[in-house]
Amino acid sequence: MRLASAGQTQIEVQLDEKNLGKLRIGQPALASADAYPNERFAAAVAYINPGIDATRGAVELRLDIAAPPAYLRQDMTVSVDIATAQRSAVLVIPTGAIHDINGSAPWVLVVRERHAVRQAITLGLLGDENAEVRSGLADGEQVLPVSAATVLAGAHVRAQPQP
């Protein structure tokens, strides 16, 4: 026999401790059960464990689900996106175009007058796939991916925009 507690439906999440400074009680989140990846439901951070699991470098979170979907079951695997910040009307580029993204002086190779130019940038919010650029680039400028490692600053380039 397996017993499940009645009451508020919650999701338990183990999150890398490096993200601890971005979290607060009440933050909104979107979750989806891996069995139903196209169905998303709202959740909110309800509890942040004061301790860290030292073996995994993780902190436990619990998220309340105000309106749990009928298909949600105990012990299902879920994916959760927690909104830690939000801005509108910002310049965003793929993180795969940023050199030294975690360092003190991030930079990109930008195409200017058919040449690759090393350009220092100031970053804002960082996501898994995109990053906010606060300064150093103008809207519409083309940046080269880090994977284009054979292209050096000053090289003549002919960029083809990607969708």
Q: Which domain holds residue 133?
A: 85-163
pLDDT in the model for residue 151: 82
The predicted pLDDT at position 163 comes to 57
Q: Where are the beta strands (DSSP E) in 4-160?
A: 9-16, 28-33, 41-48, 58-65, 78-82, 91-94, 107-112, 115-120, 122-126, 130-135, 142-144
Residue 31 CB partners (closer than 8 Å, separation 6+): 11, 40, 41, 42, 43, 63, 65, 78, 79, 80, 81
pTM of the entire predicted model: 0.62
| 2 pLDDT above the threshold of 60 | no
pLDDT classification of 154: cutoffs 50, 70, 90: confident
> 82, 102, 122: which is the final residue of a domain?
82
3 belongs to a structural domain? no
- Same domain? For 53 and 117 the reply is no
pLDDT average, residue stretch 111-117? 91
Where does the pLDDT of residue 152 fall: very low under 50, low under 70, confident under 90, or very high at 90 and above?
A: confident
Q: What is the total count of domains within the chain?
A: 2
| CATH code of the domain containing 122 | 2.40.420.20
2 domain-assigned: no
